A and B are shown apart, each in its own frame.
Chain A
Amino acid sequence: KAGVTQTPRYLIKTRGQQVTLSCSPISGHRSVSWYQQTPGQGLQFLFEYFSETQRNKGNFPGRFSGRQFSNSRSEMNVSTLELGDSALYLCASSSLTGGADTQYFGPGTRLTVL
């Protein structure tokens, strides 16, 4: 099976702009989670989607949003970009077969805000 894919891999934006990142989960996986990784804060959970619904959300401002499509693909959007939003954004998918639902991560999108 193909792994989790994320596009684009690299992105440069300026303050005030908005950005949309895309994630395609492993085939058959219905849950998609997003994480932000920065040198200062490490890896932090953003939100999780399942069946096109956001089920869980981390402690991030409303500028961070997302959605999931019927084919389980997901996008996240960051509006009014700030310098501190520069980070590696990671998407992970899991199959939700019950018990320990392992999350598998994509390669990430490196966002730089100038």
Chain B
Amino acid sequence: DAKTTQPPSMDCAEGRAANLPCNHSTISGNEYVYWYRQIHSQGPQYIIHGLKNNETNEMASLIITEDRKSSTLILPHATLRDTAVYYCIVSRYSGGSNYKLTFGKGTLLTVNP
């Protein structure tokens, strides 16, 4: 699976948009970009995923560049409860599933009041 690069930490003011970048310059055509977050000592929570097009759901938006070498996760109105480690993962669909997620160190997002 392609390697991802994320800043180790970011701060955001409550109520503002949080934009979390991820670089995945070695991504291949059949690899998806996933975002998860993990609040301290809890299981990772799925946020969103995409292949080529931008995606939006009730939690966030995912913007993938046209060359697919980087992406940005956008939390439109960050709250204190969004403070967590955010993981950007590139995963290949193979063997009938994306069975294995390779987690890096992620970005610790701290939302400040």
Contacts and interface: CB of A to CB of B under 8 A. Distances in A.
A28 to B, nearest CB: 14
Interface residues of A, number: 29
Nearest to A100: B32
Contacts, number: 76
Interface string B33-59: 010100001111110010100000000
Nearest to B87: A43
B80 to A, nearest CB: 21
A66 interface: no
Contacts of B43: 4, 90, 92, 105-108
Given A104-B46, A105-B43, A106-B43, A96 B97 contact: yes
A55 B103 contact: no
B13 interface: no
B97 A105 contact: no
A72 interface: no
B105 A42 contact: yes
Contacts of B93: 99-101
A94 interface: yes
Interface in B47-78: 49, 51
B44 A43 contact: yes
A110 interface: yes
Interface string A7-46: 0000000000000000000000001010100000011110
